[in-house]
Chains A and B, each alone.
Chain A
Amino acid sequence: MAPILQLDKLSKAFGAVTVADDLSFGLNSGEALGVIGPNGAGKTTMFNLITGTLAPDSGAILFEGENVTKHSAARRCRAGMARSFQVPQPFSGMSVFENAMVAATQASGLSGQAAEQLCLDVLDQTALLDKANTLAGSLTLLDRKRLELTRALCAKPKLLMLDEIAGGLTESECTSLIQTIKDIHASGVSIIWIEHVVHALVAVVDRLIVIDFGSKIAEGAPKEIMASPEVQEIYLGIEIDA
Protein backbone atom coordinates (compact mmCIF):
# COMPACT_ATOMS: atom_id res chain seq x y z
CA MET A 1 0.00 0.00 0.00
CA ALA A 2 1.13 3.52 -0.75
CA PRO A 3 1.91 5.72 2.24
CA ILE A 4 -0.59 8.56 2.73
CA LEU A 5 1.64 10.35 5.22
CA GLN A 6 5.40 10.33 5.69
CA LEU A 7 7.31 12.24 8.36
CA ASP A 8 10.97 12.63 7.51
CA LYS A 9 13.40 13.60 10.30
CA LEU A 10 11.08 16.25 11.74
CA SER A 11 12.62 18.46 14.43
CA LYS A 12 11.27 21.39 16.42
CA ALA A 13 12.57 23.17 19.49
CA PHE A 14 11.21 26.04 21.57
CA GLY A 15 14.47 27.52 22.84
CA ALA A 16 16.19 24.83 24.86
CA VAL A 17 13.14 22.58 24.95
CA THR A 18 13.07 20.02 22.16
CA VAL A 19 9.49 19.04 21.32
CA ALA A 20 10.17 17.00 18.19
CA ASP A 21 13.50 15.24 17.78
CA ASP A 22 14.37 13.67 14.43
CA LEU A 23 10.88 12.20 14.20
CA SER A 24 10.26 9.83 11.28
CA PHE A 25 7.41 7.45 10.57
CA GLY A 26 4.97 6.61 7.83
CA LEU A 27 1.28 5.83 7.62
CA ASN A 28 -0.18 3.62 4.94
CA SER A 29 -3.36 4.56 3.18
CA GLY A 30 -6.30 3.13 5.10
CA GLU A 31 -4.23 2.35 8.18
CA ALA A 32 -5.12 3.34 11.74
CA LEU A 33 -2.17 4.37 13.87
CA GLY A 34 -2.27 4.89 17.63
CA VAL A 35 0.06 7.30 19.41
CA ILE A 36 0.83 7.02 23.11
CA GLY A 37 3.31 8.65 25.43
CA PRO A 38 3.41 10.52 28.73
CA ASN A 39 2.04 14.03 29.13
CA GLY A 40 4.34 16.59 27.54
CA ALA A 41 6.00 13.99 25.33
CA GLY A 42 5.28 16.02 22.18
CA LYS A 43 2.26 14.17 20.80
CA THR A 44 0.08 17.23 20.23
CA THR A 45 3.12 19.14 18.93
CA MET A 46 3.53 16.37 16.37
CA PHE A 47 -0.09 16.95 15.29
CA ASN A 48 0.55 20.69 15.05
CA LEU A 49 3.53 20.00 12.81
CA ILE A 50 1.63 17.57 10.60
CA THR A 51 -1.42 19.82 10.18
CA GLY A 52 0.63 22.97 9.73
CA THR A 53 -0.32 25.08 12.75
CA LEU A 54 3.37 24.88 13.67
CA ALA A 55 6.36 25.03 11.32
CA PRO A 56 9.22 22.56 11.91
CA ASP A 57 12.83 23.73 12.30
CA SER A 58 13.94 20.97 9.95
CA GLY A 59 12.62 17.86 8.25
CA ALA A 60 9.80 17.26 5.81
CA ILE A 61 6.16 16.14 5.78
CA LEU A 62 4.83 14.28 2.76
CA PHE A 63 1.10 13.90 2.23
CA GLU A 64 0.09 11.55 -0.58
CA GLY A 65 3.64 11.78 -1.89
CA GLU A 66 3.62 15.59 -2.02
CA ASN A 67 5.90 17.67 0.16
CA VAL A 68 3.49 19.84 2.18
CA THR A 69 6.01 21.19 4.71
CA LYS A 70 5.58 24.75 3.45
CA HIS A 71 1.80 24.58 2.94
CA SER A 72 -0.58 26.43 5.25
CA ALA A 73 -2.87 24.58 7.63
CA ALA A 74 -5.85 25.58 5.48
CA ARG A 75 -4.29 24.13 2.33
CA ARG A 76 -3.40 20.86 4.05
CA CYS A 77 -6.96 20.62 5.31
CA ARG A 78 -8.38 21.11 1.84
CA ALA A 79 -5.95 18.46 0.59
CA GLY A 80 -7.61 16.00 2.98
CA MET A 81 -6.23 16.29 6.51
CA ALA A 82 -8.59 17.02 9.38
CA ARG A 83 -7.93 17.06 13.09
CA SER A 84 -9.67 17.41 16.39
CA PHE A 85 -8.08 19.65 19.00
CA GLN A 86 -7.19 18.25 22.41
CA VAL A 87 -8.35 21.51 23.98
CA PRO A 88 -11.60 22.07 22.05
CA GLN A 89 -11.64 25.14 19.80
CA PRO A 90 -15.33 25.67 19.05
CA PHE A 91 -16.73 28.63 17.10
CA SER A 92 -18.45 29.77 20.29
CA GLY A 93 -20.89 32.24 18.75
CA MET A 94 -22.16 29.75 16.17
CA SER A 95 -24.53 26.86 16.72
CA VAL A 96 -23.37 23.24 16.66
CA PHE A 97 -24.88 22.84 13.19
CA GLU A 98 -23.15 26.00 11.92
CA ASN A 99 -19.83 24.73 13.29
CA ALA A 100 -20.31 21.58 11.22
CA MET A 101 -21.33 23.68 8.20
CA VAL A 102 -18.04 25.60 8.35
CA ALA A 103 -16.16 22.32 7.90
CA ALA A 104 -18.55 21.01 5.24
CA THR A 105 -18.43 24.18 3.12
CA GLN A 106 -14.85 25.34 3.61
CA ALA A 107 -12.90 22.10 3.91
CA SER A 108 -14.86 19.69 1.71
CA GLY A 109 -16.06 22.40 -0.66
CA LEU A 110 -19.68 21.29 -0.56
CA SER A 111 -22.56 23.72 -0.77
CA GLY A 112 -26.32 23.91 -0.36
CA GLN A 113 -28.22 20.75 0.42
CA ALA A 114 -25.23 18.43 0.02
CA ALA A 115 -23.41 20.28 2.81
CA GLU A 116 -26.49 20.40 5.02
CA GLN A 117 -27.17 16.70 4.56
CA LEU A 118 -23.57 15.75 5.36
CA CYS A 119 -23.76 17.79 8.57
CA LEU A 120 -27.03 16.18 9.61
CA ASP A 121 -25.64 12.70 8.99
CA VAL A 122 -22.41 13.33 10.89
CA LEU A 123 -24.26 14.99 13.80
CA ASP A 124 -26.46 11.92 13.97
CA GLN A 125 -23.38 9.70 14.01
CA THR A 126 -21.71 11.71 16.78
CA ALA A 127 -24.92 11.98 18.86
CA LEU A 128 -25.09 15.77 18.69
CA LEU A 129 -28.19 16.09 16.52
CA ASP A 130 -30.40 16.97 19.49
CA LYS A 131 -28.12 19.89 20.25
CA ALA A 132 -27.79 21.07 16.63
CA ASN A 133 -29.21 24.53 17.46
CA THR A 134 -27.26 25.00 20.70
CA LEU A 135 -24.54 27.65 20.70
CA ALA A 136 -21.18 25.86 20.73
CA GLY A 137 -19.97 28.16 23.49
CA SER A 138 -22.54 26.79 25.90
CA LEU A 139 -21.70 23.10 25.39
CA THR A 140 -20.22 20.91 28.13
CA LEU A 141 -16.62 19.75 27.72
CA LEU A 142 -17.79 16.32 26.61
CA ASP A 143 -20.03 17.77 23.89
CA ARG A 144 -17.25 20.11 22.82
CA LYS A 145 -15.07 17.05 22.22
CA ARG A 146 -17.89 15.50 20.21
CA LEU A 147 -18.07 18.72 18.23
CA GLU A 148 -14.35 18.46 17.48
CA LEU A 149 -14.92 15.01 16.02
CA THR A 150 -18.01 16.23 14.15
CA ARG A 151 -16.17 19.08 12.48
CA ALA A 152 -13.25 16.86 11.54
CA LEU A 153 -15.65 14.36 9.93
CA CYS A 154 -17.58 17.09 8.09
CA ALA A 155 -14.27 18.00 6.45
CA LYS A 156 -14.50 14.58 4.72
CA PRO A 157 -10.85 13.80 5.43
CA LYS A 158 -8.62 11.19 3.86
CA LEU A 159 -6.52 11.40 7.01
CA LEU A 160 -8.36 11.89 10.29
CA MET A 161 -6.26 13.00 13.25
CA LEU A 162 -7.83 12.60 16.68
CA ASP A 163 -6.31 14.13 19.80
CA GLU A 164 -7.62 12.63 23.05
CA ILE A 165 -11.32 12.42 22.42
CA ALA A 166 -12.15 9.47 24.69
CA GLY A 167 -11.11 10.98 28.02
CA GLY A 168 -14.00 11.49 30.44
CA LEU A 169 -16.47 9.29 28.59
CA THR A 170 -18.60 6.74 30.45
CA GLU A 171 -18.18 3.06 29.62
CA SER A 172 -21.11 2.95 27.20
CA GLU A 173 -20.21 6.26 25.56
CA CYS A 174 -16.69 4.96 25.05
CA THR A 175 -18.01 1.77 23.47
CA SER A 176 -20.13 3.76 21.01
CA LEU A 177 -17.19 6.07 20.24
CA ILE A 178 -15.00 3.02 19.47
CA GLN A 179 -17.71 1.75 17.14
CA THR A 180 -17.96 5.14 15.42
CA ILE A 181 -14.23 5.28 14.80
CA LYS A 182 -14.19 1.67 13.64
CA ASP A 183 -16.90 2.55 11.11
CA ILE A 184 -14.93 5.56 9.88
CA HIS A 185 -11.83 3.40 9.58
CA ALA A 186 -13.78 0.71 7.73
CA SER A 187 -14.91 3.31 5.18
CA GLY A 188 -11.27 3.70 4.13
CA VAL A 189 -10.20 6.78 6.08
CA SER A 190 -6.66 6.72 7.45
CA ILE A 191 -6.47 7.57 11.14
CA ILE A 192 -3.87 8.79 13.60
CA TRP A 193 -5.21 8.74 17.14
CA ILE A 194 -3.51 10.12 20.24
CA GLU A 195 -5.20 8.64 23.29
CA HIS A 196 -4.59 7.99 26.96
CA VAL A 197 -7.56 5.62 27.18
CA VAL A 198 -5.42 2.78 25.92
CA HIS A 199 -8.08 0.06 25.75
CA ALA A 200 -10.10 2.20 23.34
CA LEU A 201 -7.02 2.74 21.22
CA VAL A 202 -6.02 -0.91 21.14
CA ALA A 203 -9.54 -1.85 20.06
CA VAL A 204 -9.23 0.22 16.86
CA VAL A 205 -5.66 0.75 15.68
CA ASP A 206 -3.50 -1.52 13.54
CA ARG A 207 -0.21 -0.20 14.86
CA LEU A 208 1.08 1.79 17.83
CA ILE A 209 3.96 4.21 18.22
CA VAL A 210 5.31 5.51 21.51
CA ILE A 211 6.58 9.06 21.78
CA ASP A 212 8.71 10.45 24.60
CA PHE A 213 10.78 13.65 24.72
CA GLY A 214 9.75 14.38 21.14
CA SER A 215 11.16 11.22 19.63
CA LYS A 216 9.77 7.82 18.69
CA ILE A 217 10.94 5.20 21.19
CA ALA A 218 8.89 2.19 20.10
CA GLU A 219 6.70 1.06 17.22
CA GLY A 220 4.78 -2.12 16.44
CA ALA A 221 1.63 -4.16 16.91
CA PRO A 222 -0.54 -2.81 19.75
CA LYS A 223 -0.37 -5.90 22.00
CA GLU A 224 3.41 -6.26 21.73
CA ILE A 225 4.02 -2.57 22.35
CA MET A 226 1.83 -2.49 25.43
CA ALA A 227 3.60 -5.57 26.82
CA SER A 228 7.13 -4.23 26.27
CA PRO A 229 9.01 -3.31 29.47
CA GLU A 230 9.94 0.11 28.07
CA VAL A 231 6.33 1.10 27.69
CA GLN A 232 5.33 -0.49 30.98
CA GLU A 233 7.89 1.71 32.68
CA ILE A 234 6.78 4.92 30.99
CA TYR A 235 3.18 4.06 31.55
CA LEU A 236 3.52 3.27 35.22
CA GLY A 237 0.49 4.93 36.68
CA ILE A 238 -1.64 4.52 33.59
CA GLU A 239 -3.59 1.33 33.69
CA ILE A 240 -3.62 -0.60 30.47
CA ASP A 241 -7.07 -1.96 31.15
CA ALA A 242 -8.46 1.30 32.48
Chain B
Amino acid sequence: MSNQTHSISRTSQAARVAGVLGALVLMVLIAAPWWAGRADMRLMGELFLYLALASLWNLMAGYAGLVSVGQQAYVGFGGYMLFALTIFGGLHPLYAIAGAGVLGALIAIPVATLIFRLRGAYFAIGTWVIAEVFRLSFAQISALGGGSGSSLPVGIVRSLASSRSGRESLAYWMALGAAVTAITVVYLLLRSRRGLALTAIRDNELAAGSLGIDIWRTKFVVYVVASGLTAMLGALIFLQKLRISPDAAFSVNDWTAFVIFIVVIGGIGTIEGPIIGTLIFFALRETLADLGTTYLIVLGIVAIVVMLKAPKGVWGFIVERYDMQLFPLRYRVKLNDQAKR
Protein backbone atom coordinates (compact mmCIF):
# COMPACT_ATOMS: atom_id res chain seq x y z
CA MET B 1 0.00 0.00 0.00
CA SER B 2 0.92 3.62 -0.31
CA ASN B 3 0.93 4.28 3.42
CA GLN B 4 4.52 5.33 3.94
CA THR B 5 5.77 5.70 0.38
CA HIS B 6 4.21 9.06 -0.48
CA SER B 7 4.01 12.40 1.23
CA ILE B 8 2.18 15.62 0.54
CA SER B 9 3.88 18.96 0.11
CA ARG B 10 2.10 22.27 -0.21
CA THR B 11 5.01 24.52 -1.02
CA SER B 12 7.51 24.80 -3.85
CA GLN B 13 10.87 26.37 -4.64
CA ALA B 14 9.23 29.17 -6.65
CA ALA B 15 6.81 29.90 -3.80
CA ARG B 16 9.63 30.10 -1.24
CA VAL B 17 11.63 32.49 -3.45
CA ALA B 18 8.48 34.54 -4.10
CA GLY B 19 7.78 34.66 -0.37
CA VAL B 20 11.23 36.06 0.43
CA LEU B 21 11.12 38.54 -2.47
CA GLY B 22 7.59 39.55 -1.51
CA ALA B 23 8.67 40.28 2.05
CA LEU B 24 11.60 42.39 0.79
CA VAL B 25 9.39 44.35 -1.62
CA LEU B 26 6.88 44.90 1.18
CA MET B 27 9.57 46.33 3.47
CA VAL B 28 10.76 48.70 0.72
CA LEU B 29 7.16 49.77 0.12
CA ILE B 30 6.50 50.37 3.83
CA ALA B 31 9.49 52.71 3.84
CA ALA B 32 8.21 54.66 0.82
CA PRO B 33 7.41 57.88 2.79
CA TRP B 34 11.18 58.22 3.30
CA TRP B 35 12.25 57.66 -0.28
CA ALA B 36 9.31 58.46 -2.57
CA GLY B 37 7.96 61.83 -3.66
CA ARG B 38 4.46 63.06 -2.90
CA ALA B 39 3.09 62.30 -6.39
CA ASP B 40 4.63 58.82 -6.45
CA MET B 41 3.08 57.97 -3.09
CA ARG B 42 -0.33 59.11 -4.28
CA LEU B 43 0.01 56.94 -7.38
CA MET B 44 1.19 53.91 -5.41
CA GLY B 45 -1.61 54.39 -2.89
CA GLU B 46 -4.12 54.33 -5.71
CA LEU B 47 -2.44 51.26 -7.18
CA PHE B 48 -2.75 49.40 -3.87
CA LEU B 49 -6.44 50.23 -3.58
CA TYR B 50 -7.04 48.93 -7.11
CA LEU B 51 -5.03 45.82 -6.29
CA ALA B 52 -7.28 45.19 -3.29
CA LEU B 53 -10.46 45.80 -5.30
CA ALA B 54 -9.22 43.48 -8.03
CA SER B 55 -8.26 40.70 -5.59
CA LEU B 56 -11.73 40.76 -4.06
CA TRP B 57 -13.51 40.87 -7.41
CA ASN B 58 -11.36 37.95 -8.54
CA LEU B 59 -12.38 35.97 -5.46
CA MET B 60 -16.03 36.48 -6.34
CA ALA B 61 -15.92 36.11 -10.13
CA GLY B 62 -12.89 33.89 -10.56
CA TYR B 63 -13.65 31.38 -7.82
CA ALA B 64 -17.28 31.63 -6.74
CA GLY B 65 -18.55 32.35 -10.27
CA LEU B 66 -20.23 35.55 -9.08
CA VAL B 67 -19.63 37.85 -12.03
CA SER B 68 -20.77 41.11 -10.49
CA VAL B 69 -20.67 44.34 -12.48
CA GLY B 70 -22.06 46.20 -9.49
CA GLN B 71 -19.30 46.26 -6.89
CA GLN B 72 -19.34 50.06 -7.22
CA ALA B 73 -22.42 49.76 -5.02
CA TYR B 74 -20.16 48.84 -2.09
CA VAL B 75 -17.34 51.25 -2.98
CA GLY B 76 -19.86 54.08 -3.00
CA PHE B 77 -21.72 52.80 0.03
CA GLY B 78 -18.46 52.58 1.99
CA GLY B 79 -17.47 56.06 0.90
CA TYR B 80 -20.78 57.54 1.98
CA MET B 81 -20.66 55.63 5.29
CA LEU B 82 -17.27 57.22 6.01
CA PHE B 83 -18.82 60.67 5.50
CA ALA B 84 -21.98 59.86 7.46
CA LEU B 85 -20.22 58.18 10.40
CA THR B 86 -17.60 60.93 10.78
CA ILE B 87 -19.86 63.94 10.16
CA PHE B 88 -23.02 62.79 11.95
CA GLY B 89 -21.72 59.98 14.14
CA GLY B 90 -18.63 61.90 15.28
CA LEU B 91 -16.46 58.81 14.83
CA HIS B 92 -12.73 58.97 14.24
CA PRO B 93 -12.09 58.27 10.53
CA LEU B 94 -10.24 55.02 11.31
CA TYR B 95 -13.25 53.66 13.23
CA ALA B 96 -15.52 54.94 10.49
CA ILE B 97 -13.58 52.85 7.95
CA ALA B 98 -14.10 49.71 10.04
CA GLY B 99 -17.75 50.68 10.55
CA ALA B 100 -18.21 51.10 6.81
CA GLY B 101 -16.93 47.55 6.33
CA VAL B 102 -19.34 46.10 8.88
CA LEU B 103 -22.29 48.04 7.46
CA GLY B 104 -21.27 47.03 3.92
CA ALA B 105 -21.30 43.35 4.92
CA LEU B 106 -24.67 43.79 6.63
CA ILE B 107 -26.29 45.45 3.62
CA ALA B 108 -24.79 42.71 1.40
CA ILE B 109 -26.89 40.07 3.20
CA PRO B 110 -30.35 41.17 1.95
CA VAL B 111 -28.84 42.13 -1.43
CA ALA B 112 -27.38 38.62 -1.79
CA THR B 113 -30.63 36.88 -0.86
CA LEU B 114 -32.32 38.95 -3.57
CA ILE B 115 -29.85 38.71 -6.46
CA PHE B 116 -28.77 35.10 -5.83
CA ARG B 117 -32.12 34.16 -7.37
CA LEU B 118 -30.65 35.33 -10.69
CA ARG B 119 -28.28 33.22 -12.79
CA GLY B 120 -25.40 34.04 -15.15
CA ALA B 121 -25.93 37.18 -17.21
CA TYR B 122 -29.09 38.02 -15.25
CA PHE B 123 -27.05 38.02 -12.05
CA ALA B 124 -24.56 40.46 -13.60
CA ILE B 125 -27.36 42.79 -14.73
CA GLY B 126 -29.02 42.47 -11.31
CA THR B 127 -25.86 43.62 -9.51
CA TRP B 128 -25.66 46.66 -11.79
CA VAL B 129 -29.31 47.52 -11.13
CA ILE B 130 -28.65 47.31 -7.37
CA ALA B 131 -25.70 49.68 -7.74
CA GLU B 132 -27.89 52.16 -9.62
CA VAL B 133 -30.51 51.91 -6.87
CA PHE B 134 -27.76 52.73 -4.34
CA ARG B 135 -26.60 55.71 -6.43
CA LEU B 136 -30.11 57.14 -6.84
CA SER B 137 -30.89 56.60 -3.15
CA PHE B 138 -27.79 58.43 -1.92
CA ALA B 139 -28.52 61.27 -4.37
CA GLN B 140 -31.80 61.77 -2.45
CA ILE B 141 -30.10 62.32 0.92
CA SER B 142 -29.78 66.09 1.18
CA ALA B 143 -27.79 65.92 4.42
CA LEU B 144 -24.99 64.27 2.41
CA GLY B 145 -25.21 66.86 -0.35
CA GLY B 146 -27.81 65.16 -2.55
CA GLY B 147 -26.89 64.92 -6.19
CA SER B 148 -23.97 67.34 -5.98
CA GLY B 149 -22.21 65.61 -3.07
CA SER B 150 -20.21 67.01 -0.16
CA SER B 151 -16.69 67.48 1.19
CA LEU B 152 -15.12 66.06 4.30
CA PRO B 153 -14.88 68.86 6.94
CA VAL B 154 -11.37 70.10 7.68
CA GLY B 155 -11.63 69.17 11.36
CA ILE B 156 -12.19 65.51 10.52
CA VAL B 157 -9.29 65.48 8.08
CA ARG B 158 -7.03 67.09 10.71
CA SER B 159 -8.02 64.45 13.28
CA LEU B 160 -6.05 61.87 11.26
CA ALA B 161 -2.71 63.69 11.56
CA SER B 162 -1.87 67.32 12.10
CA SER B 163 0.64 67.76 9.29
CA ARG B 164 -0.05 67.31 5.60
CA SER B 165 2.87 64.94 5.10
CA GLY B 166 1.72 62.93 8.12
CA ARG B 167 -1.72 62.51 6.56
CA GLU B 168 -0.22 61.54 3.24
CA SER B 169 2.01 58.91 4.84
CA LEU B 170 -0.94 57.54 6.81
CA ALA B 171 -3.15 57.36 3.72
CA TYR B 172 -0.37 55.58 1.86
CA TRP B 173 0.15 53.02 4.64
CA MET B 174 -3.56 52.39 4.93
CA ALA B 175 -3.78 51.73 1.18
CA LEU B 176 -0.79 49.38 1.38
CA GLY B 177 -2.34 47.68 4.41
CA ALA B 178 -5.63 47.28 2.52
CA ALA B 179 -3.91 45.55 -0.39
CA VAL B 180 -1.92 43.25 1.91
CA THR B 181 -5.07 42.47 3.91
CA ALA B 182 -7.17 41.72 0.82
CA ILE B 183 -4.54 39.40 -0.65
CA THR B 184 -3.95 37.71 2.71
CA VAL B 185 -7.68 37.12 3.26
CA VAL B 186 -8.03 35.65 -0.24
CA TYR B 187 -4.91 33.52 0.22
CA LEU B 188 -5.90 32.12 3.61
CA LEU B 189 -9.44 31.46 2.44
CA LEU B 190 -8.23 29.59 -0.64
CA ARG B 191 -5.68 27.58 1.33
CA SER B 192 -8.31 26.42 3.82
CA ARG B 193 -10.84 23.63 3.54
CA ARG B 194 -13.35 26.13 2.18
CA GLY B 195 -10.83 27.09 -0.48
CA LEU B 196 -10.93 23.58 -1.90
CA ALA B 197 -14.72 23.94 -2.10
CA LEU B 198 -14.41 27.31 -3.83
CA THR B 199 -11.87 26.06 -6.35
CA ALA B 200 -14.12 23.07 -7.04
CA ILE B 201 -17.06 25.42 -7.64
CA ARG B 202 -14.85 27.44 -10.01
CA ASP B 203 -14.17 24.33 -12.09
CA ASN B 204 -17.47 22.42 -12.02
CA GLU B 205 -20.60 23.31 -10.05
CA LEU B 206 -22.43 20.08 -10.87
CA ALA B 207 -19.67 17.90 -9.49
CA ALA B 208 -19.07 20.26 -6.55
CA GLY B 209 -22.71 19.94 -5.45
CA SER B 210 -22.60 16.17 -5.82
CA LEU B 211 -19.55 16.00 -3.54
CA GLY B 212 -21.26 17.62 -0.60
CA ILE B 213 -20.44 21.29 -1.18
CA ASP B 214 -23.24 23.67 -0.26
CA ILE B 215 -22.85 25.95 -3.27
CA TRP B 216 -25.36 28.61 -2.24
CA ARG B 217 -23.86 29.03 1.22
CA THR B 218 -20.28 29.09 -0.03
CA LYS B 219 -21.13 31.78 -2.59
CA PHE B 220 -23.11 33.73 0.00
CA VAL B 221 -20.16 33.85 2.42
CA VAL B 222 -17.81 34.96 -0.36
CA TYR B 223 -20.22 37.65 -1.53
CA VAL B 224 -20.77 39.08 1.95
CA VAL B 225 -17.06 39.03 2.90
CA ALA B 226 -15.94 40.52 -0.42
CA SER B 227 -18.63 43.20 -0.30
CA GLY B 228 -17.82 44.19 3.28
CA LEU B 229 -14.14 44.53 2.45
CA THR B 230 -15.02 46.45 -0.72
CA ALA B 231 -17.02 48.90 1.39
CA MET B 232 -13.94 49.39 3.61
CA LEU B 233 -11.92 50.12 0.49
CA GLY B 234 -14.58 52.60 -0.62
CA ALA B 235 -14.21 54.41 2.71
CA LEU B 236 -10.41 54.50 2.24
CA ILE B 237 -10.71 55.73 -1.36
CA PHE B 238 -12.94 58.65 -0.39
CA LEU B 239 -10.83 59.47 2.65
CA GLN B 240 -8.07 60.17 0.14
CA LYS B 241 -10.32 62.05 -2.28
CA LEU B 242 -11.90 64.12 0.56
CA ARG B 243 -14.95 64.76 -1.65
CA ILE B 244 -17.83 62.50 -2.54
CA SER B 245 -20.70 62.69 -5.03
CA PRO B 246 -23.11 60.00 -6.22
CA ASP B 247 -21.63 59.91 -9.72
CA ALA B 248 -18.05 59.52 -8.47
CA ALA B 249 -18.95 57.10 -5.67
CA PHE B 250 -21.03 54.74 -7.80
CA SER B 251 -19.03 54.99 -11.03
CA VAL B 252 -19.26 51.69 -12.92
CA ASN B 253 -16.26 52.74 -15.01
CA ASP B 254 -13.87 53.51 -12.16
CA TRP B 255 -14.79 50.79 -9.67
CA THR B 256 -15.90 47.90 -11.85
CA ALA B 257 -14.89 48.20 -15.52
CA PHE B 258 -11.23 48.92 -14.74
CA VAL B 259 -11.22 46.23 -12.06
CA ILE B 260 -12.60 43.64 -14.50
CA PHE B 261 -9.95 44.71 -17.02
CA ILE B 262 -7.23 44.20 -14.41
CA VAL B 263 -8.42 40.74 -13.39
CA VAL B 264 -9.10 39.46 -16.90
CA ILE B 265 -5.77 40.73 -18.27
CA GLY B 266 -3.79 39.41 -15.31
CA GLY B 267 -5.50 36.04 -15.12
CA ILE B 268 -8.89 35.34 -13.57
CA GLY B 269 -9.15 32.58 -10.98
CA THR B 270 -5.56 32.96 -9.70
CA ILE B 271 -4.16 35.03 -6.83
CA GLU B 272 -1.24 36.20 -8.96
CA GLY B 273 -3.47 37.46 -11.81
CA PRO B 274 -4.82 40.62 -10.15
CA ILE B 275 -1.29 41.61 -9.05
CA ILE B 276 0.08 41.38 -12.58
CA GLY B 277 -3.07 42.96 -14.01
CA THR B 278 -2.83 45.95 -11.68
CA LEU B 279 0.81 46.56 -12.68
CA ILE B 280 -0.08 46.34 -16.38
CA PHE B 281 -3.10 48.62 -15.97
CA PHE B 282 -1.14 51.33 -14.15
CA ALA B 283 1.80 51.06 -16.57
CA LEU B 284 -0.58 51.60 -19.49
CA ARG B 285 -2.45 54.39 -17.73
CA GLU B 286 0.67 56.33 -16.78
CA THR B 287 2.31 56.04 -20.19
CA LEU B 288 -0.87 56.77 -22.17
CA ALA B 289 -2.43 59.38 -19.88
CA ASP B 290 -1.61 62.21 -22.28
CA LEU B 291 -3.49 60.61 -25.15
CA GLY B 292 -6.94 61.41 -23.77
CA THR B 293 -9.72 59.26 -25.18
CA THR B 294 -7.24 57.26 -27.26
CA TYR B 295 -6.08 55.73 -23.95
CA LEU B 296 -9.41 53.97 -23.50
CA ILE B 297 -9.26 52.70 -27.09
CA VAL B 298 -5.80 51.27 -26.39
CA LEU B 299 -7.11 49.59 -23.23
CA GLY B 300 -9.89 48.02 -25.30
CA ILE B 301 -7.43 46.76 -27.90
CA VAL B 302 -5.16 45.29 -25.22
CA ALA B 303 -8.15 43.51 -23.68
CA ILE B 304 -9.20 42.04 -27.02
CA VAL B 305 -5.68 40.89 -27.93
CA VAL B 306 -5.16 39.23 -24.52
CA MET B 307 -8.52 37.47 -24.75
CA LEU B 308 -7.68 36.13 -28.21
CA LYS B 309 -4.06 35.16 -27.54
CA ALA B 310 -4.14 34.26 -23.85
CA PRO B 311 -7.72 33.77 -22.70
CA LYS B 312 -6.54 32.85 -19.20
CA GLY B 313 -4.68 36.15 -18.88
CA VAL B 314 -0.98 36.83 -18.56
CA TRP B 315 -0.56 34.65 -15.47
CA GLY B 316 -2.58 31.80 -17.01
CA PHE B 317 -0.28 32.01 -20.04
CA ILE B 318 2.80 31.67 -17.79
CA VAL B 319 1.34 28.82 -15.72
CA GLU B 320 0.50 26.81 -18.83
CA ARG B 321 4.14 26.92 -19.88
CA TYR B 322 6.05 26.74 -16.62
CA ASP B 323 3.64 25.15 -14.10
CA MET B 324 4.62 27.50 -11.30
CA GLN B 325 2.82 29.27 -8.49
CA LEU B 326 3.94 32.16 -6.31
CA PHE B 327 1.32 31.52 -3.62
CA PRO B 328 1.61 27.92 -2.37
CA LEU B 329 -1.97 26.71 -2.64
CA ARG B 330 -1.50 23.42 -4.42
CA TYR B 331 -1.00 19.94 -3.06
CA ARG B 332 1.97 18.03 -4.46
CA VAL B 333 2.28 14.28 -4.01
CA LYS B 334 5.91 13.24 -3.64
CA LEU B 335 7.47 9.82 -3.65
CA ASN B 336 9.50 9.42 -0.44
CA ASP B 337 13.27 8.82 -0.66
CA GLN B 338 13.01 5.46 1.08
CA ALA B 339 10.54 4.20 -1.49
CA LYS B 340 12.79 5.16 -4.40
CA ARG B 341 15.53 2.80 -3.31
For residue A197, CB closer than 8 A to chain B, the reply is no
Which of B8, B200, B206 contacts A102, CB < 8 Å?
B200
Which chain B residues numbered 180 to 224 have a C-beta less than 8 Å away from chain A?
Answer: 193, 196-197, 199-200, 202-204, 206-215
The A/B interface has a contact count, at CB < 8 Å, of 111
Most buried by A among B6, B209, B211, B269: B211
B330 sits at the interface (CB 8 A): yes
Question: Is A37 on the interface with B (CB-CB < 8 A)?
Answer: no
Given that A74-B213, A121-B2 are contacting pairs, would A92 and B203 also be in contact in the complex, using a CB cutoff of 8 Å?
yes
Residue in B2, B203, B212 with the greatest tally of chain A CB atoms within 10 Å: B212
List B contacts of A51 (CB < 8 A).
Answer: 210
A72–B215 CA distance with the chains assembled, in angstroms: 10
Interface residues of A in 63-95 (CB under 8 A from B): 72-75, 77-78, 82-83, 85, 89-95
Interface size for chain B: under 10, 10 to 19, 20 to 34, or 35 or more residues? 20 to 34
A55 to B211, CA, bound (A): 17
Which secondary structure characterizes the binding site on chain A?
helix
Q: In the assembly, what is the distance between CA of A72 and CA of B205, in Å?
A: 13
| Given A91-B204, A116-B8, A120-B333, A98-B199 contact (CB < 8 Å) | yes
From known contacts A74-B212, A92-B203, A94-B203, infer whether A102 and B331 are also in contact, taking CB-CB under 8 Å: no
- How far apart sit A74 and B217, CA to CA, in the bound complex (Å)? 11
> Given A98-B199, A106-B197, are A133 and B212 neighbors across the interface (CB < 8 Å)?
no
Distance between Cα atoms of A123 and B3 in the complex (Å): 11
Residue of B nearest to A113 (CB): B8
Give the complex CA separation of A83 and B210 in angstroms: 8
- Are A106 and B200 in contact (CB-based, < 8 A)? yes
- Per the bound structure, the CA–CA distance linking A241 and B264 in Å amounts to 53
In the docked arrangement, what's the CA distance between A20 and B49, Å? 54
B332 on the interface (CB 8 Å rule)?
A: yes
Q: Are A78 and B212 in contact (CB under 8 A)?
A: yes
Contact A93 B196 (CB under 8 A): no
Q: Is the CB of B204 within 8 A of A89?
A: yes
Mask: chain B, 261-285; 1 = CB below 8 Å from A; 0 = not: 0000000010000000000000000
* Chain A residues engaging chain B, CB cutoff 8 angstroms: 51, 53, 72-75, 77-78, 82-83, 85, 89-95, 97-98, 101-103, 105-107, 111, 116-117, 120-121, 123-124, 129, 132-133, 151, 155
Could you give 11 example pairs across A and B, Cβ below 8 Å? A51-B210, A53-B210, A77-B212, A85-B207, A89-B207, A93-B199, A97-B8, A98-B199, A105-B196, A121-B2, A124-B1
What 10 pairs across the A-B complex have the smallest Cβ distances? A107-B212, A91-B203, A132-B333, A89-B207, A77-B212, A124-B2, A78-B212, A73-B209, A106-B212, A102-B200
The residues of B with any CB-CB pair to A shorter than 8 Å are 1-3, 6, 8, 193, 196-197, 199-200, 202-204, 206-215, 269, 330-333
